[in-house]
């Protein structure tokens, strides 16, 4: 690769020239990384003009010319636009720019409390080995009856139809579509016409163990859904036909990828060359040849959407969680490949918890190509998430400002931060959220640039805080307050030291002194005798003490994890590991009916609901 021309200004193209890492050391991108980014952005920066971000009714000095609205109508504008949405401005000199007209402020939730739930782990007695949308509806009704107002749910994005089945909900096949493993087959329209007795018994038998076997769940549920499809395919419900028609090419493309993945494997990069691009003639021919199977997967998405809709109207606000990205071999990567930098992956530089840094296995969007595409991937993601849910949590909200790009096959230390058109991306989020009347949470845990939280507060995006003890009293009002996340140790795990033993058992580095300070703080806050052994009563006391403080904190939303409400010692995910720890595979220790009726969950929800 040749060196970039001196005229190439990487900073102007969005590359952060240097950054200070978590250890206070200033870092610069490696020279090979700079060269690769210069070559890429020299090309992609020519694709589209910078969009114009405006507020309806407010003057903008560049808003003069002919404006074509989303509905196809045109008006002459002289400084203002009268409606929110995605428009196109043709200036008098012929220049064409996208206009993102967004309300200034996001909808706001009332002051309330709720639970953060790993849906896969939250099984009822009727579950088929994994938590499903019927279980989510049960949870919603149950916590609503106890005075809670919110359920924050782990990502329910679609996963690849492969064996072994993917486990991490944060490495999806598509962020626009749903995980069919969360379907309750017995509730699918037409299920009463199919014999599912043997499959239902086999599915419920999977609840006997705490380790979730997604391969077994997938086999059983796919067979059940296939049996139902066999009896409904010739008399499709009109509701399904209308729904499928309304989702058009996007739905058909995803279903086509799914059938291709079933046939050729879950990574499109290893498929026969003729299927490498979604617009290739061979892909259309394949879809026609496998029309029934493509239609089946479209129907499965309708069933999932229908069941999620029921859960989202079961008494509390459902807040869905949007993952940072998707796998390299995924449906979204196949469909959006022209917008991605497939020679890089998203990660993060070294910090005290991950001293080698992290690479997340997710391809980044090229910010210039994303702009040229009118931000369609983000628009589709937010719109689909808020089709039924009343709120959305954006994981690693810094992704809207910048992402750390690691060269594929290179070292994390060679990576660089790349900026994104944040004003435009936030405008897209506001347009979609305001249309849905939904509130937005940005996960801003850890070190973030100062302007990030300032901007979030200015537009009404809630932050996310996981402080404990006295510190939660300092939570800003415009935040969701919690005592932990899926990546952090549970209260029981800290008290019993089982989390330390888990980390030591897999060779993961940790700060034992810091953990002991946290353990001492938990015991002190709960009035636990330092000399007393830790048992259920001590865990109960510590959990209630922490959530009593949380209930009194200024945060708009106070969340307990269902893991803490159940006194669970294992954390759902151990960052920086894959198979060393059973990430995303640990179910709760009892059916959620029993856990929610137990004294710990009952009293914890009473503490939070009384805020």
Partners of residue 572 on adjacent β-strands: none
Give pLDDT, residue 531: 86
The DSSP string of 382-444 is HHHHTTT-SEEEESSGGGGTEEEEEETTS-GGG-EEEE--HHHHHHHHHHHHHHHT-EEEE--
Cis peptide before 240 (omega within 30 of 0): no
Neighbouring residues of 216: CB distance < 8 A, sequence distance ≥ 6: 129, 206
Listed residue (473, 468, 478) closest to 560, CA to CA: 468
DSSP state of 129: S
Give pLDDT, residue 1: 44
Give the pair of three-digit tokens for residue 39: 């070559």
Interior/surface letters 50-65, b for 16+ CB within 10 angstroms, e for the rest: ebbbbbeeeebeebeb
Please say whether the beta carbons of 128 and 221 come within 8 A. Answer: yes
**Radius of gyration of the chain measured on its C-alpha atoms:** 25
pLDDT digits (tens, 9 = 90+) for 324-337: 999 999 999 999 99
> H helices within 336-394, ranges in order?
367-372, 376-385
Give pLDDT, residue 409: 85
Measure the CA–CA gap between 447 and 561, rounded to whole angstroms. 23
pTM for this predicted structure: 0.95
Give the pair of three-digit tokens for residue 574: 């151990």
Ranges of residues in the chain with a pLDDT under 70 are 1-8, 352-353
Q: What percent of the chain has pLDDT over 70?
A: 98
Measure the CA–CA gap between 116 and 111, rounded to whole angstroms. 16
Partners of residue 583 on adjacent β-strands: none
Give the pair of three-digit tokens for residue 186: 């017995």
Neighbouring residues of 538: CB distance < 8 A, sequence distance ≥ 6: 495, 523, 526, 528, 532
Listed residue (9, 18, 70, 85) closest to 41, CA to CA: 9
SS3 state of residue 37: helix
pLDDT digits (tens, 9 = 90+) for 71-100: 999 999 999 999 999 999 999 899 999 999
First to last CA, the chain: 61
Give the pair of three-digit tokens for residue 62: 């560049």
Q: How many CA atoms lie within 13 Å of 254's alpha carbon, on the beta-carbon side?
A: 26
DSSP state of 314: S
Give pLDDT, residue 6: 46
Give pLDDT, residue 7: 55
Task: Work out the mean pLDDT of the chain and round it to a whole number.
Answer: 94
Give residue 584's region: left, alpha or beta (phi > 0; psi -120 to 50): left
Give pLDDT, residue 269: 97
Question: How many helices (H) and strands (E) would you count in the chain?
Answer: 19, 21
Partners of residue 101 on adjacent β-strands: 54, 85
Long-range contacts formed by 3-12: CB under 8 A, 24+ apart: 3/35, 4/34, 4/35, 4/38, 4/39, 4/42, 8/38, 8/42, 10/34, 10/37, 10/38, 10/41
Partners of residue 66 on adjacent β-strands: 76, 90
């Amino acid at each position: 690769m040749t060196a970039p021309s001196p005229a190439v200004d990487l900073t102007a193209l969005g590359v952060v020239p240097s950054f200070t890492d978590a250890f206070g050391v200033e870092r610069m991108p490696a020279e090979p990384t700079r060269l690769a980014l210069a070559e890429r952005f020299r090309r992609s920066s020519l694709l589209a003009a910078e969009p114009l971000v405006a507020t309806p009714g407010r003057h903008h000095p560049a808003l003069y010319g002919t404006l074509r609205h989303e509905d196809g109508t045109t008006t002459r504008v002289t400084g203002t636009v009268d409606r929110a949405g995605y428009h196109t401005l043709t200036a008098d000199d012929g220049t064409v720019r996208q206009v993102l007209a967004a309300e200034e402020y996001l909808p706001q939730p009332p002051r309330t409390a709720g639970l953060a739930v790993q849906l896969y782990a939250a099984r009822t007695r009727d579950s088929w080995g994994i938590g499903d949308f019927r279980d989510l509806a049960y949870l919603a009704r149950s916590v609503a009856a106890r005075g809670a107002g919110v359920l924050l749910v782990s990502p329910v994005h679609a996963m690849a139809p492969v064996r072994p089945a993917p486990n991490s909900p944060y490495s999806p096949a598509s962020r626009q579509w749903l995980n069919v493993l969360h379907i309750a087959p017995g509730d699918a329209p037409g299920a009463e016409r199919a014999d599912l007795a043997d499959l239902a018994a086999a599915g419920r038998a999977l609840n006997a163990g705490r380790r979730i076997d997604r391969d077994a769940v997938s086999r059983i549920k796919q067979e059940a859904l296939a049996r139902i499809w066999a009896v409904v395919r010739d008399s499709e419900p009109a509701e399904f036909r209308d729904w499928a028609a309304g989702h058009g090419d996007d739905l058909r493309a995803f279903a086509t990828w799914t059938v291709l993945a079933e046939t050729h494997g879950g990574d499109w990069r290893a498929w026969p060359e003729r299927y490498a691009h979604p617009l290739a003639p061979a892909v259309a021919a394949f879809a026609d040849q496998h029309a029934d199977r493509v239609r089946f997967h479209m129907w499965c998405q309708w069933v999932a959407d229908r069941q999620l809709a029921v859960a989202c109207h079961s008494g509390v606000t459902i807040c869905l969680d949007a993952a940072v990205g998707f796998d390299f071999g995924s449906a979204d990567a196949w469909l959006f490949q022209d917008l991605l930098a497939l020679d890089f992956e998203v990660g993060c530089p070294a910090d005290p918890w991950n001293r080698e840094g992290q690479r997340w296995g997710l391809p980044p969007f090229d910010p210039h190509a994303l702009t040229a595409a009118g931000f369609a991937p983000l628009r589709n993601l937010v719109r689909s998430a808020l089709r039924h849910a009343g709120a959305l949590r954006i994981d690693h909200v810094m992704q809207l400002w910048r992402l750390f790009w690691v060269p594929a096959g290179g070292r994390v230390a060679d990576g660089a931060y790349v900026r994104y058109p944040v004003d435009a991306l936030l405008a897209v989020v506001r347009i979609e959220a305001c249309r849905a009347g939904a509130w937005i949470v940005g996960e801003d845990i850890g070190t973030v640039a100062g302007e990030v939280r300032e901007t979030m507060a200015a537009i009404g995006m809630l932050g996310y805080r996981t402080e404990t003890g006295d510190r939660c009293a300092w939570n800003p009002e415009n935040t969701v307050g919690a005592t932990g996340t899926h990546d952090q140790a549970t209260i029981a795990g800290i008290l019993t030291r089982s989390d330390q033993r888990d980390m030591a058992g897999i060779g993961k580095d940790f700060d034992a002194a810091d953990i002991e300070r946290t353990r001492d703080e938990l015991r002190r806050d709960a009035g636990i005798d330092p000399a007393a052994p830790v048992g259920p009563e001590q865990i109960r006391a510590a959990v209630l003490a922490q959530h009593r403080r949380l209930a009194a904190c200024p945060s708009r939303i106070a969340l307990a994890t269902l893991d803490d409400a159940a006194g669970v010692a294992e954390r759902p995910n151990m960052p920086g590991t894959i198979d060393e720890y059973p990430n995303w595979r640990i179910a709760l220790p009892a059916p959620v009916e029993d856990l929610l009726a137990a004294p710990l969950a009952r009293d914890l929800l009473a503490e939070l609901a009384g805020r």
